[in-house]
Amino acid sequence: MERTLILVKPDGVKRNLVGEVLSRVERKGYTIAALKLMQADRGLLVQHYAEHEGKPFFEPLVEFMMSGPIVAVVAEGNRVIEGFRKLAGATDPTVAEPGTIRGDLARDQGTKVVQNIVHGSDSVESATREISIFFPEL
Ligand code: DAT
Ligand code: MG
């Protein structure tokens, strides 16, 4: 069974949207296999976002992700990686389709980093890598 890593980012937790995000994942038919509320530290985030190191939004991204608690989730189901990316919508919430998490619940806040409620793994390799970062116990 395929697995993906979902993060409800600090903006989502602050705005009390954890239930909303989990509800969309569950209503789609995916299973929550693991879940935790946590404060991510820099080391964890630098590893998680390694592909973006050196980009202008990298430091703001790490700072933003440390700005409050996040909820880390492993969701399970056939093609859940692709399926959750569709539920999440485009990276830029201004152009994310209505009906998606980002399209319905986020907008441009004028910050250096885009704040868009959720993270979802983008491939089987990323999912395996990211799950082992956030859930070393699994
Ligand atoms: P995604 O989260 O859709 O996989 P990504 O991996 O390209 O997007 O980028 C990680 C996060 O960094 C993204 O959710 C929001 C932020 N981000 C991406 N591109 C950005 C940009 N050009 N300017 C500001 N923030 C950006
Ligand atoms: Mg990404």
pLDDT digits (tens, 9 = 90+) for 128-138: 999 999 999 99
Residue 46 — φ and ψ, nearest 5°?
-65, -40
Please tell me what DSSP assigns to residue 98.
B
Q: Which domain range does residue 104 map to?
A: 2-134
**What is the pTM (predicted TM-score) of this model?**
0.98
pLDDT digits (tens, 9 = 90+) for 40-85: 999 999 999 999 999 999 999 999 999 999 999 999 999 999 999 9
Counted domains in the chain: 1
pLDDT at 125: 98
pLDDT at 108: 98
pLDDT digits (tens, 9 = 90+) for 77-122: 999 999 999 999 999 999 999 999 999 999 999 999 999 999 999 9
Q: Give the ligand 1 atom nearest the CA of 116.
A: 14
58 CB near ligand 1 (under 6 Å): no
pLDDT at 128: 98
Q: Which residue in 8, 119, 121, 131 is the catalytic one?
A: 119
Whole-Å CA distances, 89 to 37, 69, 85, 119, 121: 23, 22, 6, 10, 13
The domain that holds 49 is classified in CATH as 3.30.70.141
Whole-Å CA distances, 45 to 48, 54, 60, 90, 109: 5, 14, 12, 21, 22
- Contact between 48 and 133 (Cβ < 8 Å): yes
CA of residue 122 to ligand 1 center, whole Å: 12
Q: Is 119 an annotated catalytic residue?
A: yes
